[in-house]
Amino acid sequence: MAFVNMKSKEVQAKIVYYGPGRGGKTTNLEFIYSKFRERIKSDMVSIKTHGDRTLFFDFLPFDIGKIMGYDVKIQLYTVPGQVKYDATRRLVLKGVDGMVFVADSQVEQRKKNVLSLKNLQENLAMYKKSIFKVPLVLQYNKRDLKKEGIPLLPTETLEKDLNSQLKVPSFAASAVSGENVVPTMKKIISLTMASLQNVLK
Amino acid sequence: MNKNRRSLLSSPEPGSEGEEEDKQLGSNYDDITFTDYTLGQEELEKIENVLEDDLIRSGVHSVLLIDMAGNIIAQRDNGACDHDLYSLAALASANFAAVDTMAKIVGEEEFSLLFHKGENENIHFSKVNVEFLLITIFGKKVSLGLLRLKVAEAVDKINGVWKP
Ligand SMILES: Nc1nc2c(ncn2[C@@H]2O[C@H](COP(=O)(O)OP(=O)(O)OP(=O)(O)O)[C@@H](O)[C@H]2O)c(=O)[nH]1
Ligand SMILES: [Mg+2]
């Protein structure tokens, strides 16, 4: 539900990072914020618990400049991943234009990834949206843990578990080191803008 | 096990076979939920005039018309405010949605007065219609009573210009 202001020639689009608790959604936004600090004029807003878990959302407005004559403002959000926060998680999805699903690559998180993706499908359905139609990118996060000797799911397994039906672009990433964090974001922005393009003509 | 997992996401609707190409091209235009509403330039101008004439001229510091997704539709201020409006809009829409959900849980249709009082600044929320919220920031010079009256008038006028 992007908003196009024909008068000020401005577009606001909402991109939401979704995924299981502790998967690295907030860390993605923190990396983007630190990397583009000089371009992001406002502070990152985080509504979180004392233990640094997202309670409601993180919010980071990101001005990406002009596209087709429009000043494009991307609003990046994360949802709280913990199962118990489903009610607030759903609220954040309102009006979403594009999504990143951040999966946790650790072997022991395998089931949580699948459940979270299924939860996304259900919550989108409440807004009458199909997970097969929303611009979506998958990110297989925490790949850096491999060198710590922590067992990770091969990306092939993650593809099979999460992407065999969706067939959307996916990235192996590390939100902590920043590897593939920006490419993930660029991909979802370009898919989202492409989906809005016909309205911007 | 695996098969089971995948079937969790099996497509309920037909026509998802072509999704791969569609996604690659990013060309799933047809069904993009691009604003559930359309506001023309002229309507936008009228709304901005309402915000200016009814609220800013009455002493309100800053006023935002936002949608329920947190987008800013229109904005006016007295020139002396320097708030981070995009963050404010994101928080206001989320706050409103959370309070609205709480109302439903306790069996209320909605809570009518949403107002936060501060030392110098106050913030008032008003639902305009199913899509829009009016956020008003004002100081000591405007009483809550007067503000509510002015907001109610502005809401009526905005709904006169545009309704979902
Ligand atoms: N090694 C490693 N740790 C990571 C990575 N990404 C996130 N973490 C860590 O995992 C923990 C949880 O990260 P968050 O970004 O808070 O996770 P989240 O998805 O926002 O979690 P919720 O807010 O509860 O949904 C933190 O301690 C991060 O430092 C990564 O790529 N590699
Ligand atoms: Mg988080």
Please give the pLDDT value at position A149: 96
- Average pLDDT of span B126-133: 92
Please give the pLDDT value at position B45: 93
Q: How far is CA A56 from CA A12, A48, A105, A167, in A?
A: 21, 7, 24, 29
Q: Which residue has the tokens 């404010």?
A: B88
The more confidently predicted of residues A142 and B99 is A142
- Reply yes or no on whether the pLDDT at B113 is more than 60: yes
Please give the pLDDT value at position B38: 72
Ligand 1 pocket test, pick from A16, A18, A22, A139 with the greatest ligand atom count within 8 Å of Cβ, gives A22
Prediction pTM value: 0.85
Query: May I ask the CATH class of domain A3-195?
Result: alpha beta
Q: Which residue's alpha carbon is nearest to atom 23 within ligand 1?
A: A54
Distance separating alpha carbons of residues B105 and B97, to the nearest angstrom: 12
Q: Residue B101: pLDDT band by 50, 70, 90 thresholds? A: confident
Q: Which residue has the tokens 């409440």?
A: A126
Mean pLDDT across chain B, nearest whole number? 80
Q: How far is CA B23 from CA A4, A59, A122, A138, A159, in A?
A: 23, 26, 20, 13, 16
DSSP conformation class of B98:
H
DSSP β-bridge partners for residue A74: A13, A62
Distance separating alpha carbons of residues A16 and A58, to the nearest angstrom: 10
ipTM above 0.95, yes or no: no
Please give the pLDDT value at position A197: 78
Please give the pLDDT value at position A144: 98
User: Which of these, B82, B98, B104, B92, lies nearest to B132 by C-alpha position?
Assistant: B92
The two three-digit tokens of residue A201, written as one number? 């003509």
- Reply yes or no on whether the pLDDT at B164 is more than 90: no
Helix (H) or strand (E) holding A66: strand A54-67
Q: How far is CA A110 from CA A21, A107, A152, A171, in A?
A: 12, 6, 9, 17
| Local structure of A42: helix, strand or coil | coil
The more confidently predicted of residues B115 and A20 is A20
- The rounded Å distance from CA A113 to ligand 1 centre is 14
| Residues with Cβ–ion distance below 5 A, ligand 2 | A 25-26, 54
Domain architecture of chain B: domains with CATH: 1-34 (no CATH), 41-162 (3.30.450.30)
Q: Residue B157: pLDDT band by 50, 70, 90 thresholds? A: very high
Q: Residue B82: pLDDT band by 50, 70, 90 thresholds? A: confident
Q: Residue B22: pLDDT band by 50, 70, 90 thresholds? A: very low
Please give the pLDDT value at position B9: 46
Please give the pLDDT value at position A4: 85
Please give the pLDDT value at position B36: 57
Q: Do A95 and B72 touch (CB under 8 A)?
A: no
Residue boundaries of the structural domains of chain A: 3-195
Please give the pLDDT value at position B37: 67
The two three-digit tokens of residue A156, written as one number? 């092939």
Ligand 1 site: residues with CB under 6 angstroms? Answer: A 19, 21-27, 53-54, 78, 80-82, 141-142, 144-145, 174-176
The whole-number mean pLDDT for each consecutive block of 10 residues of chain A, a chain of 201 residues, reads 83 96 98 93 88 92 87 95 93 95 98 98 95 97 97 98 98 98 96 83 63
Q: Do A114 and B101 touch (CB under 8 A)?
A: no
Q: Which residue of A has its CA nearest to B17?
A: A165
Q: Please tell me the least confidently modeled range out of B96-110, B124-138, B144-158.
A: B96-110
- B-chain CB neighbours of A165 within 8 Å are 6, 9-11, 16
User: Which of these, A4, A99, A198, A131, lies nearest to B29 by C-alpha position?
Assistant: A198
Does A132 touch chain B if contact means CB atoms closer than 8 Å? yes
Please give the pLDDT value at position B150: 97
Query: What one-character-per-residue DSSP string does B106-140 give?
Result: TT-S--S-EEEE-SS-EEEEEE-SSSEEEEEEE-T
Distance of CA B53 to the CA centre of its chain: 21
Share of chain B above pLDDT 70, in %: 77
Distance of CA A39 to the CA centre of its chain: 20
